[in-house]
């Protein structure tokens, strides 16, 4: 009678573990063969093989391949084994693979896949720490900010805000413009949602987002982030129909882009600064064409001409 797939994959795992220390390449060949076999991969030790291959790809900084391999393991998958004391132990390997996949997706900037992987991790797995919650919230904010992504698995602006504000997570990201801009985006996004819980707090949420954006603009040494924050602040002012304040923030953003040379302590990523400047000009042009902007539209038009003609 042929051995079942579960027994085969377990026996192959034992062989791979014996080889791992002195012949790691041979061990990886075994795990790779198991992970690539549809029947063996569906077994508990098939999940172990996927985990081992994902770990290897991570070591090689092949994060897309690592994420793909981790994602082949169902989040509810577990494997039992005997520890050194002879006790039977259950390893929630599916939850661990989901966690590792989330971080691997984050490193490839696949925000939607990362957010969904983080959200799939069961709370009882006790894997999510403060840093993980912040990164999950950032992924949600970036995914939702792309607009073409469809929210799924409980992903929302409200959930992102909840994760940012949980425990002392905001203290952990104090002074980090890259994370703070995602927090501000989440506040602004929540203020624009048709969420009954958010409707009564629209002004409060927008003001909180503005405070964060403007603090990044004044304090973050990375020029493209400071400029990005000013543009986001301008967009909020425009939502409030405060066209003058929006125009002023766009002007400051463009002038910051144009006056970076020689500023002490600033970090300039020329390509990103160029992209942000183009976005600021686009937003300025929108004010020019907005029938509700009144006399501000005329001023914006003159600014636009000046900045478009700048060397």
Give the separation between CA 138 and CA 183, rounded to whole angstroms.
7
Q: Is 294 left (phi over 0), alpha (psi -120 to 50) or beta?
A: left
Give the bridge partners for 82, in sequence order. 88
Residue 262 has pLDDT above 60, yes or no: no
What mean pLDDT is reported for the chain?
Answer: 91
Over residues 77-89, the mean pLDDT reads 85
Of 91-100, 200-209, 221-230, 256-265, where does mean pLDDT reach its minimum?
256-265
pLDDT at 194 over 80: no
| Cα distance between residue 215 and residue 229, in whole Å | 9
| Residues above pLDDT 70, as percent of the chain | 94
The class level of CATH for 1-109 reads: mainly alpha
Angle at 246 between CA 245 and CA 248, to 5 degrees: 65
Band the pLDDT of 149: cuts 50, 70, 90.
Answer: low
pLDDT at 251: 97
DSSP code per residue over the chain: -PPPHHHHHHHHHHHHHHHHTT-HHHHHHHHHHHHH-HHHHTSHHHHHHHHHHHHHHHHTT-HHHHHHHHTTS-TT--EEEE-TTS-EEEE-HHHHHHHHHHHHHHHTT-HHHHHHHHHHS-GGG----HHHHHHHHHHHHHHHHTSSSPP-TT--HHHHHHHHHSTTHHHHTTT-HHHHHHHHHHHHHHHTS--HHHHTTHHHHHHHHHHHHHHHHHH-SBHHHHHHHHHHHHHHHHHTT-HHHHHHHHHHHHHHHHT-TT-TT-B--HHHHHHHHHHHHHHHHHHHT-TTSTHHHHHHHHHHHHHHT--
pLDDT band at 2 (very low <50, low <70, confident <90, very high): very low
Least confident of 88-92, 137-141, 161-165, 240-244: 88-92
Give me the pLDDT at residue 33, please.
94
- The pTM for the full model equals 0.86
pLDDT (0 to 100) of residue 153: 77
pLDDT reported for residue 1 = 29
The answer to whether 192 and 185 have CB atoms below 8 angstroms apart is: no
The pLDDT of residue 197 is 61
157 vs 150, higher pLDDT: 157
Q: What is the pLDDT of residues 22-81, one digit of tens each?
A: 898 999 999 999 999 989 999 999 999 999 999 999 999 999 999 999 999 999 999 988
pLDDT of residue 37: 92
Mean pLDDT of 127-154: 88
Cβ contacts of 33 within 8 Å, gap of 6 or more: 12
Out of 203-207, 225-229, 251-255, least confident range: 203-207
């Amino acid at each position: 009678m042929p051995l079942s797939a579960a027994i085969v994959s377990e026996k192959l795992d034992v062989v791979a573990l014996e080889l791992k220390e002195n012949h790691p390449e041979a061990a990886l060949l075994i795990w790779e063969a198991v992970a690539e076999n549809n029947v063996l991969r569906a077994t508990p030790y098939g999940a172990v093989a996927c985990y081992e291959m994902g770990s290897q790809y991570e070591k090689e900084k092949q994060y897309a391949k690592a994420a793909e391999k981790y994602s082949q393991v169902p989040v509810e998958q577990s494997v039992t084994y005997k520890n050194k004391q002879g006790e039977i132990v259950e390893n929630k390997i599916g939850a661990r693979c989901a966690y590792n996949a989330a971080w691997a997706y984050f490193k490839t900037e696949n925000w939607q896949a990362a957010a969904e992987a983080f959200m799939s991790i069961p709370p009882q797995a006790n894997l999510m720490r403060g840093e993980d919650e912040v990164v999950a919230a950032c992924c949600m904010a970036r995914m939702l900010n792309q607009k073409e992504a469809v929210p799924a698995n409980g992903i929302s602006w409200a959930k992102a805000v909840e994760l940012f504000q949980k425990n002392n997570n905001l203290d952990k990201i104090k002074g980090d413009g890259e994370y703070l801009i995602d927090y501000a985006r989440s506040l602004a996004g929540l203020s624009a949602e048709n969420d009954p819980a958010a409707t009564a707090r629209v002004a409060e949420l927008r003001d909180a987002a503005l405070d964060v954006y403007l603090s990044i603009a004044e304090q973050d040494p990375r020029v493209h982030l400071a400029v990005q924050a000013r543009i986001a602040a301008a967009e909020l002012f425009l939502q409030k129909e405060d066209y003058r304040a929006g125009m002023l923030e766009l002007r400051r953003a463009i002038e910051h882009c144009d006056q970076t040379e020689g500023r002490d302590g600033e970090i300039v990523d020329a390509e990103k600064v160029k992209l942000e400047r183009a976005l600021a000009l686009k937003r300025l042009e929108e004010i020019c064409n907005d029938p509700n902007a009144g006399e501000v539209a005329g001023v914006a038009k003159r600014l636009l001409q000046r900045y478009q003609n700048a060397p």
